[in-house]
Structure 1
Amino acid sequence: MRVKREELVQKLESVLPGLATKPIIEQSQCFVFTDEKLVTFNDEVACSIDSPLDIQGAIPAKALLQLLNKLPEEEIEVRVEENELLIRVGKKKTKLRMEEEMTLPIEELEEPTKWRKIPKGLVQAINISLSCAGKDESQFVLTCIHIHPEWVEACDNFQVIRYPLKTGLKKSVLIKRDSLKAIVGLDMTEWSQTDNWTHFRNPLGLTLSCRRYLEDFPDLTKVLAIKGKPMELPKNIKDVVVRAEIFSSENTANDSVMVRMKSGKMEIKGEGPSGWYKEVKSIEYDGPPLAFAIAPKLLVEISSKSTSCQLGDTGLRVDGDGFTYVTCIEKVEEKDGQHSSS
């Protein structure tokens, strides 16, 4: 069969969130073609879309996608020959190993039956909460986004965010941050709840399913109720954060910038293996020196929604457009013109 190369690549790339970075389960690093669907599954996320090829079997994902991206031709010929996928275009020819038997344990994924429109603001709430979820697997609950009937929230023991929103759920669910981040940017318009999964679907027919958990999430209400002295964050700090993020983004496990405040000044610093960048902005602040860390994208988002905040003894609270954010602060002392922890 002859297929459009770019259309095939687009479909393959749409199901990438379901691939495993390590071989956790059988065929979890493969594109699996069934009678009607193209499927990926890594035990936490499953993706499916109408199959672009009339074949059945599992093909190593990395090799297939890399090959297709390096071919310049618009059309390619694809067919199965003796448990291998043959790709031919002009004088170019390749074969990829193909497992005809599907061993991917996709049968544990429940089929959604009732689809509902995703509430307005839900994807935005999830997106803004991602940076606040924890990364320490020993504190599993905090690595999840908490979707409550009345709000979306996240916490990593240093910062908290809550986005009030009628989600339409009857019971709260937890979904791992790394699973949910895949739905951002995919134009998801519908969702469905089954016993163990939350499913999202977009107009192109892509279904992305995230494993859901029912553990209790900490009550953050008291933390979010912190009050303190009103103050204003500097405006137009996006460019500063973008420059600092050049270095902080090198820390893939903990991309954060350090914000230090002292009388009349706010310093934003991003640091990574390649070096660091810092910049000072004027601010109306006359309190003691303090510092806090925050994800750069979250700082940009927060400052774009609201510059008003409250500074308490232990935390900084920002009430933005539809959300409340609180971060722990650390009192610091100055030594030789520099800030240091006290």
Structure 2
Amino acid sequence: MITKKSTLLNVLQSVKPGLASKGIIEQFTHFIFSGEAVMTYNDEICVTHPLETKFQCSVIAEDLYKTLTGISGDSSVKLSLEDGKLCVKTATRQAKLSTEVENDAEKMIEMLGLKELEDKWIPLPEDFSKGMFLCMFSASKDMTKGAGTCVYLNGSNLFSSDEARISHYSLPKSTTLTTLIPARSVAELVRFEVTKVCLDKSWIHFKTEEEVV
């Protein structure tokens, strides 16, 4: 796969919210290349961005990001898997990074059934992210408060409260969904311009126009 350094960095930056600072499972701190997308997963947040490669592996996110940012200018970068190493090549330099082929995190992502959501997406009101952003500040940071640490989505209404403050935002159109979303996840969600939503038994999924999920 050959692409501009800036393009690849933008893709990796977009999936960073799914990285864990420390991984109970090692791959929670990895960029995962599936052949069709690059993914991250930390047991609370999963982010996938379309990216066609001719290989499947995972690599320590910090190592790959540092390698790319160390390349001067906006060079063309070739990524390939060679002898179990992720090879990063430009016209003037080359680096090889250790990879994992057997990936527990990728198996967990597969269990989310993202490919089965194709006909289940619901359009979101344009100001959904704005409403979530405004409400997340009133959610409690005390993890013993349970639902109080979340933003409550109920149709066309968003609520949050830490028992000292309460926020309410009214959306112009109902989402037809009712669920709780942890405010710490909302802080990452509002970085994206999400346009569609899908709710299953244990996860709520969002999608952008660029097919980032």
Q: Please report the TM-score for the alignment, with normalisation by the length of structure 2.
A: 0.89
Q: Does 1:114 align with 2:117?
A: no
CA contact (8 A) 2:158 2:168 kept: yes
| Aligned residue number for residue 78 of structure 1 | 79
Contact (CA 8 Å) 2:138, 2:160: kept in 1 or not? yes
Map Cα deviations across residues 203-262 of structure 1 (whole Å, 9 max, x no partner): 11101xxxxxxxxxxxxxxxxxxxxxxxxxxxxxxxxxxxxxxxxxxxxxxxxxxxxxxx
Deviation string for 1:129-188 (max 9, x for gaps)?
111111111112111111112410111122111113343325x21111111222213211
CA distance in 1, matches of 2:9, 2:126: 31
Percent identical residues = 27
Q: Is the contact between residue 35 and residue 53 of structure 2 (CA under 8 Å) also seen in structure 1?
A: no
- How far apart are the structure 2 equivalents of 1:128 and 1:65? 31
Aligned to 1:61: 61
Listed as ranges, the matches of 1:159-308 within 5 Å are 159-165=165-171, 166-170=173-177, 172-207=178-213
| Preserved CA contact (<8 Å) 1:34 1:56 | yes
**SS of residue in 1 equivalent to 2:28:** coil
Aligned with 1:15: secondary structure? helix
Higher radius of gyration, 1 or 2: 1
Indicate how the Cα distance of structure 1 residues 120 and 80 shifts in structure 2: closer, same or farther if over 3 A, else same: closer
Preserved contact between residue 37 and residue 51 of structure 1 (Cα < 8 Å): yes
1:176/1:24 Cα in 2 relative to 1: closer, same or farther (>3 Å)?
farther
For residues 201 and 173 of structure 1, the distance between their equivalents in structure 2, rounded to whole angstroms, comes to: 17
Q: Which runs of 5+ in 2 are unaligned?
A: none
The aligned counterpart of 1:127 is: 133
Higher strand share: 1
Instruction: Give 1:92's aligned residue.
Output: 93
CA gap 1:150/1:81 in 2 versus in 1, 3 angstroms: closer
The TM-score normalised by the length of structure 1 is 0.57
AA aligned to 2:145 is: Q
What is the Cα deviation at residue 121 of structure 1?
Answer: 2.5
1-structure distance, mates of 2:81, 2:134: 45
Contact 1:11–1:52 at 8 Å: present in 2 too? no
- Contact between 1:50 and 1:205, CA under 8 Å: does it hold in 2? yes
Structure 1 unpaired stretches of 5+: 208-342
In 2 relative to 1, CA 86–153 (structure 1 residues): closer, same or farther, beyond 3 Å? same
TM-align CA RMSD: 1.7
Distance 1:69 1:52 in 2: 21
Read off the aligned partner of 2:158 and give its amino acid letter. V
Matched length: 206
Which secondary structure does the structure 2 equivalent of 1:128 belong to?
A: helix
* Contact 1:192–1:198 under 8 Å retained in 2: yes
Superposition pairs for residues 304-323 of structure 1, below 5 Å?
none
Determine the C-alpha separation between the residues in 1 that align with 2:127 and 2:88: 43
Question: Displacement of 1:34 after TM fit?
Answer: 0.7
Q: Is the helix fraction higher in 1 or 2?
A: 2
SS of structure 2 residue aligned to 1:13: helix
- Which residue of the partner structure matches residue 9 of structure 2? 9
Stretches (4+) displaced over 6 A: none
Amino acid at match of 2:113: E
